Amino acid sequence: MSLVTDFIVIGSGVAGLRASIALAESGADVTVLTKDKASESNTEYAQGGVAVVLSEDDDAELHEGDTLVAGAGLCDEPAVETLVTEGTKYIKQLIDWGTEFDREGGKLVFTQEAAHSRRRILHAHGDSTGAEFVRSLIARARQERTINLLPFANTESLIVEDGRCVGVRFLDPILRSPREVYGKAVIMCTGGAGQLYQHTTNPPVATGDGMAMAYFAGAEMADMEFIQFHPTALSVEGAPRFLLSEAMRGEGGILRNVQGERFMSRYDQRQELAPRDIVSRSIVAEMRRTGSRHVFLDMTALDAEFLRERFPKIDATCKQFGLDIAKDMLPVSPASHYCMGGIRTDLHGRSTVPGLYAAGEVSCTGVHGANRLASNSLLEGLVFGARAGEAAVADSLKFGVSDFRLSEAPSGQNSQPISTAVKKRVKRVMWERVGILRDRGSLLRAISEFEQIERSNLGTSSRNFVTLALLVARAALWREEARGGHFRSDFPEQREEFRVHSIQKQGSDISSSPQMDF
């Protein structure tokens, strides 16, 4: 039996929760579908903090300027302006809702991170900012009686009728069979796709389903080639690729090679505080130069008590693997971390498919350009989640849910998780051939292998996963330059003709657009 609601939100990270609250405040019924428990998302794992203009020596123009520089010439200025100006309002609102940011003497504590010209990063409980966002937003969402959270509901595809997105097909966690839910609009907030890569800081749920679903529904995808690799993921045999926050370098951490030498000055005058893409490539170059599988993050010059108070979660995790962040040099290497590309949207979260909205990492607003500035992601989810929810309400005032053709859900023969064999193969090829350093030959081999996998009999989830890998690889092949998170060793310089967004749509060749808005 099909369900009917006013609005459907897919995902319960910062963007999904904030969109849900905006929808519910209009009096609408909101059904929130999540793949795992409500708190399991990339937001939950965000350590670094949130960048916001609140300190006395900061202003929106400085924050905008830093974001534009990090974005390597590909940020859309209207999107960045929206982010930095509205961000202050929404963070103040979060504080009013009970979000507990770190304070000293009653005043907010601002920290420094790479590529920021001011100390403007707010943290919660040291290195658990994302978890605090989720806690406070879930608490706020529970005050809205019209929000219905449906956990462990694995969404598989969007329902499009007469060119409009009107629903979602998902696996009912209780009935264990396909089911459909219809609404006036769908807001996609499923997060990123870090699990495409063999080494990633992302949780297991970050498989990019939402991007693939939108692509198959006819939505345009933008800038899929731009993947941000975090420079410092814990590199210990048998340990997960736990992220060692950007803030550790912001507080004075030093990168050393396996010979104990500080090396970043060889690659960039900003050394450890260079943008993430530069630091990641520098680490890879140093690993190759020294024949090692990692470098070290050295925090030993800092006060031990300060480190344990500032990074309690990182301290506890490192101790599980026999490492003391105050005494030991920490082995690190890069891992996939964030997707700058995604579903192409305007500044109100509208995709190119009527009735389909997107916010957060699954979307591409043009705010991050070719390389996300550290700690802008939580702010983006908050700002554009709210804007998408408000736009969905305003756009749907004349649209009813009574005329849906409620179809029978298809049989569940293909309703299964991503094949383990497919996942392993895709992740290995993406890491080796579509990773931090790319070239035409490696990308062509990757595309050939993915197309071979695509021709086999795949379930819906496996098909989504392989399709997403193809979108990234094809966009990376098309962009014959090095810019931000995308580095072509056969085209190592930026090229002015590529100062455009890549646009992909099902059934069409890759095109370009000077701006994300449409």
CATH classification at residue 34: 3.50.50.60
Catalytic residue from among 249, 276, 438, 483:
276
* 245 and 304, same domain (yes or no): yes
Q: What is the pLDDT of residue 406?
A: 60
Q: What is the pLDDT of residue 413?
A: 44
Mean pLDDT of 79-106: 96
* 258 and 161, same domain (yes or no): no
Distances (CA, A) of 48 to 129, 246, 373, 448: 7, 6, 11, 37
Question: Which range (44-58, 111-125, 451-465) has the least confidence?
Answer: 44-58
User: Going by DSSP bridges, is the β-strand pair 363-364/342-344 parallel, antiparallel, or unpaired?
Assistant: parallel
Span 229-241, pLDDT tens digits: 999 999 998 888 8
Distances (CA, A) of 92 to 4, 21, 52, 231, 269: 35, 16, 10, 31, 36
Mean pLDDT of 149-174: 93
Task: Select from 337, 358, 375 the last residue of a domain.
Answer: 337
Burial class (CB in 10 A: 0-12, 13-18, 19+), 410: middle
Mean pLDDT of 293-297: 97
Q: What is the pLDDT of residue 42?
A: 57
- Whether the per-residue pLDDT at 48 is higher than 70: the answer is no
Asked whether residue 493 is assigned to any structural domain, the reply reads no
Q: How many domains does the chain contain in total?
A: 2
Q: Are 358 and 350 in contact (CB under 8 A)?
A: no
Dist. CA 241–CA 229, nearest whole Å? 12
* 327 and 302, same domain (yes or no): yes
Q: What is the reported pTM?
A: 0.93
Q: What is the pLDDT of residue 412?
A: 45
pLDDT-based confidence at 43, cuts 50/70/90?
Answer: low
- Whether the per-residue pLDDT at 409 is higher than 90: the answer is no
pLDDT-based confidence at 120, cuts 50/70/90?
Answer: very high
Task: Select from 395, 414, 438 the last residue of a domain.
Answer: 395
Asked whether residue 409 is assigned to any structural domain, the reply reads no
Q: What is the pLDDT of residue 415?
A: 61
- Whether the per-residue pLDDT at 411 is higher than 50: the answer is no
Mean pLDDT of 157-169: 96
Asked whether residue 201 is assigned to any structural domain, the reply reads no
Asked whether residue 307 is assigned to any structural domain, the reply reads yes
The secondary structure of residue 242, as a DSSP letter, is -
Dist. CA 374–CA 394, nearest whole Å? 32
Q: What is the pLDDT of residue 405?
A: 60
Asked whether residue 214 is assigned to any structural domain, the reply reads no
- Nearest Cα to Cα of residue 370 among 17, 135, 69, 71: 71
* 165 and 113, same domain (yes or no): yes
Q: What is the pLDDT of residue 127?
A: 77
Asked whether residue 219 is assigned to any structural domain, the reply reads no
Dist. CA 202–CA 209, nearest whole Å? 14
Centroid of chain to Cα 227: 9
Dist. CA 93–CA 226, nearest whole Å? 31
Quick one: tokens of 289? Answer: 């130069």
* 174 and 301, same domain (yes or no): no
Q: Are 409 and 2 in contact (CB under 8 A)?
A: yes
Mean pLDDT of 275-304: 94
pLDDT-based confidence at 355, cuts 50/70/90?
Answer: very high
* 26 and 117, same domain (yes or no): yes
Backbone angles phi, psi at 288, to 5 degrees: -70, -40
* 167 and 273, same domain (yes or no): no
Quick one: tokens of 100? Answer: 């507990």
Tell me what percent of the residues of the chain surpass a pLDDT of 70.
95
**20 is in which domain, residue-wise?**
3-193+340-395
Quickly tell me which residue has 């290995």 as its tokens: 428
Backbone angles phi, psi at 22, to 5 degrees: -60, -40
Average pLDDT, the chain: 93
Mean pLDDT of 398-418: 63
* 256 and 330, same domain (yes or no): yes
Q: How many other C-beta atoms are found inside a 10 Å radius of the C-beta of residue 265?
A: 11
Distances (CA, A) of 508 to 219, 468, 504: 12, 16, 7
- Nearest Cα to Cα of residue 117 among 171, 64, 194, 188: 64
- HEC assignment per residue over 43-62: HHHCCCCEECCCCCCCCHHH
CATH of the domain at 332: 3.90.700.10
- Whether the per-residue pLDDT at 44 is higher than 60: the answer is no
Quick one: tokens of 110? Answer: 């601002």
Quickly tell me which residue has 């990339």 as its tokens: 42
Tell me what percent of the residues of the chain surpass a pLDDT of 90.
82
- Whether the per-residue pLDDT at 11 is higher than 70: the answer is yes
* 321 and 357, same domain (yes or no): no
Mean pLDDT: which of 237-251, 295-309, 397-411 is highest? Answer: 295-309
∠ CA 47-51-53, rounded to 5°? 155
pLDDT-based confidence at 462, cuts 50/70/90?
Answer: very high
- Nearest Cα to Cα of residue 52 among 60, 42, 40, 44: 60
* 304 and 347, same domain (yes or no): no
Q: Are 86 and 94 in contact (CB under 8 A)?
A: no
* 328 and 379, same domain (yes or no): no
Which element (helix H / strand E) includes 227? strand 227-234
Task: Select from 321, 337, 353 the last residue of a domain.
Answer: 337
* 369 and 303, same domain (yes or no): no
Mean pLDDT of 484-496: 97
342 Cβ contact partners less than 8 Å away, ≥ 6 residues apart: 192, 211, 221, 222, 223, 224, 358, 361, 362, 363, 364
Dist. CA 38–CA 151, nearest whole Å? 6
Dist. CA 462–CA 416, nearest whole Å? 8
Q: Which residues of 92-122 are buried (b: 16+ CB within 10 A; e: fewer)?
A: eebeeeebebbeeeeeebbbbbbbbebebbb
pLDDT-based confidence at 407, cuts 50/70/90?
Answer: low
Query: For this structure, is 276 an active site residue?
Result: yes
Q: What is the pLDDT of residue 271?
A: 95
Asked whether residue 375 is assigned to any structural domain, the reply reads yes
Asked whether residue 436 is assigned to any structural domain, the reply reads no
Dist. CA 118–CA 475, nearest whole Å? 34
Which is higher by pLDDT, 48 or 133?
Answer: 133
